[in-house]
Amino acid sequence: MVNWVEAQKPLLNGLMKMAGVIPYTLEIEPGTKMNFWVPKETLKKKSRTGKPAKPDKPIKPVVLLIHGFAAEGIVTWQFQVGALSKKYSVYIPDLLFFGGSSSDNSDRSPAFQANCLVKGLRILGVDKFVPVGFSYGGMVAFKIAEAYPEMVRAMVVSGSILAMTDSISESSLNRLGFSSSKELLLPTSVKELKALFTIAVHKPLWFPKRLFKDFLEVMFNNRKERAELLEAVEVSNKDVTIPHFPWKIHLLWGESDQIFDFELAKNMKSELGENATIESIKKAGHLVQLERPCVYNRRLKKFSMCMIVKSTGTVPYTVETEPGTNIHFWLPKKTGDKPAVLLIHGFAGDGVMTWALQVRSLSKRYSVYIPDLLFFGKSYTDKPDRSPEFQAECLVKAMRILGVKTFVPVGFSYGGVVAFKIAELHGDMVKALVVSGSPPVMTDSNVNRFGFSSISDVLLPKTVNELKFLLSVAMHKRIWLPSWPLKDYLKTMFTNRKERAELLEALVLSDGNTFPSFPQKIHLLWGENDQFFSHEFAKDLRIKLGEMTSMEIIKNGGHLVQLERPFVYNKLLNKFLASVENL
């Protein structure tokens, strides 16, 4: 008879591969193997001998998703991988005795699991990452943070605790009506599995008995070893000390978690100190990432992005350029004598979302400033002016307030128009200019090339289908994503719709407007497959801009070239910036 859980594995595996991760098995030490799902771009190369080559070091910031006790990695995190993989290199391990991982070592402690994960990540070329731990995986994540603090950028924990002390274990089990962790977490019958499922969710859903039986057969193997894992988790109260963690820890909790309730989470936050933050998600239980994936992903991405940007020495700061007008920046904590680079985003994301993959590459050599333009992110104004000139003036005022005298603007799409305006109006402050996917002026003929009745039709999507269309036009290679992360992105990134529509109206000028001239060096860094402004358009633009303008085309890159080909983009951007440092 067909096991329906087993039969769905190829479908889940296929979805993971479409999201950009593939399975890879590592020998951690003789007798110990761990299965990982890793970014496929890190495994492209093959050795001359035909054997698997050493994995490439990931380019994007790394997130490590560590599962709990009732299921392996991709089952636990199936709704997170697609949402994260565009911006992050996502690694999903199976802990020992789950999925395809095993060991003949007798150590069953969370510390041994942590050591094996770190050894595996080092083999995979990972030296820094954000662990995200759920339930049992949260305890393993804490052990990683305690033993390898130099590798951890920040940390997210859901439905877990620092250590399972005998007092916490006893009080939790008594409250839930179980005599032992084994009775709760290693069900032997459909009835016991249903009881576990009822406790783990906020709102139990009906499933046929057959599905529970199939899940029991597939997901609860290696029962002897897992029972030993549970025995090794519990420690005495007197043996527990709370380590000091120097970076941010975010507790992301289901408000109705019955296994580790929200009060326990709040107490843990107090014990962890000022570096810990906490958020609860309504209408969610212990399995919060499965019950409320859209909300969970939105909050996880927000925290992870901020922490990764902060790890480069960049911090958030709001500048009041005039009464009623505030510009939110990410800016260097310490500027020193490094040259300043201003990264100006486009229309479909804020500053950090647009430039997340460039900050680390630039920050060692440059003071990087990343603003949110007005009506994006946390920036706003009560002034009626919606023109690119006003955006440019506000940025220049802010840079002056921040003490920056000269800088290189790097503008993408709508941000490119703003960057050109800065160079035109404040040439004394602009050392050079880099632009991707943008003309100096957006004219009627530019818009007509798109084949839309209005520019708002494509740049202000209202539905998931409209957003899917925008992404298909903006990218060289389409990536399949389920609807729910796109719905989540739509809610988060397309706020202030009235004001943004006004920005687009003010952006488009008649064809009779004069083409400005620029005395600075200008570098056009373009995706070869840009469908908004083709590389042929870029070549014509280079000629119009004159002999001070250079151009480089990036293959297999579309309009979102800095996100699709970050390694090549960063290399070429750094090369140009180095050439103009002494201007």
Bridge partners, 134 (sequence order)? 158
Contact 404, 397 (CB under 8 A): no
Q: Is the dihedral of CA 134, 137, 143, 145 positive or negative?
A: negative
Question: Two tokens at 532?
Answer: 């908004």
Q: Is the dihedral of CA 212, 213, 217, 220 positive or negative?
A: positive
Q: What was the pLDDT predicted at 447?
A: 64
Contact 570, 362 (CB under 8 A): yes
Pairing mode, if any, of strands 234-235 and 155-158? Answer: unpaired
Distance of CA 513 to the CA centre of its chain: 40
Distance of CA 50 to the CA centre of its chain: 34
What gap in Å lies between CA 443 and CA 233, rounded to an integer? 65
Spatial CA neighbour of 368 closest among 349, 345, 342: 342
**Would you state the torsion angle of the CA atoms of residues 409, 411, 416, 420, taken in this order, to the nearest 10 degrees?**
10
Q: What was the pLDDT predicted at 562?
A: 94
Q: What was the pLDDT predicted at 382?
A: 96
| Site of tokens 């005495």 | 236
Q: What was the pLDDT predicted at 577?
A: 96
Helix residue ranges, H only, 494-529: 497-507
Residue type, 509: L
Contact 328, 370 (CB under 8 A): no
Encode 424-448: b = buried (16+ Cβ within 10 Å), e = exposed: bebeebbbbbbbbbbbbbbbeebbe
Q: What share of residues in the chain are helix, strand, coil (percent, to 5)?
A: 45, 20, 35
Spatial CA neighbour of 157 closest among 2, 300, 8, 353: 300
Contact 479, 82 (CB under 8 A): no
What gap in Å lies between CA 131 and CA 41, rounded to an integer? 20
Spatial CA neighbour of 290 closest among 190, 202, 191: 202
DSSP code string of 35-92: EEEEEGGGG--B-TTSSBPPPPPPSSPEEEEE--SSS-HHHHTTTTHHHHTTTSEEEE
Contact 544, 478 (CB under 8 A): no
Spatial CA neighbour of 241 closest among 316, 174, 163: 163
What gap in Å lies between CA 172 and CA 289, rounded to an integer? 21
pTM of the model: 0.72
Encode 278-309: b = buried (16+ Cβ within 10 Å), e = exposed: bbbbeebbbbbbbbbbbbbbbbbbebbbbbbb
Contact 396, 422 (CB under 8 A): yes
Per-residue pLDDT tens digits of the chain, which is 583 residues long: 677 777 788 888 888 998 889 999 999 999 999 999 999 988 865 555 555 567 788 878 899 999 999 889 999 999 999 889 888 999 999 999 999 899 999 999 999 999 999 999 999 999 999 999 999 999 999 999 999 999 999 999 999 998 888 777 788 888 888 888 888 889 999 998 999 999 999 988 788 888 888 888 878 889 999 999 999 998 877 767 788 888 899 999 999 999 999 999 999 999 998 889 999 999 999 999 999 998 999 899 888 877 777 777 788 999 999 999 999 999 998 766 899 999 999 998 899 889 988 998 999 899 999 999 999 999 999 999 999 999 999 999 999 999 999 999 999 999 999 999 999 999 999 999 999 999 998 876 666 665 666 778 788 888 888 888 888 888 887 766 677 677 777 877 788 889 999 999 999 876 666 677 888 999 999 999 999 899 999 999 999 999 999 999 999 999 999 999 999 999 999 999 999 877 5
Contact 4, 11 (CB under 8 A): no
Q: What was the pLDDT predicted at 244?
A: 85
Measured in residues, the chain has a length of: 583
Q: What was the pLDDT predicted at 158?
A: 97
What gap in Å lies between CA 484 and CA 500, rounded to an integer? 24
| Site of tokens 């800088």 | 407
Contact 103, 31 (CB under 8 A): yes
Phi-psi region of 525 (alpha: psi -120 to 50; beta: other; left: phi over 0): beta
Contact 357, 423 (CB under 8 A): no
CA angle (164, 165, 169) in 5-degree steps: 75
Question: Two tokens at 186?
Answer: 């290693």
| Site of tokens 């950009």 | 20
Contact 128, 360 (CB under 8 A): no
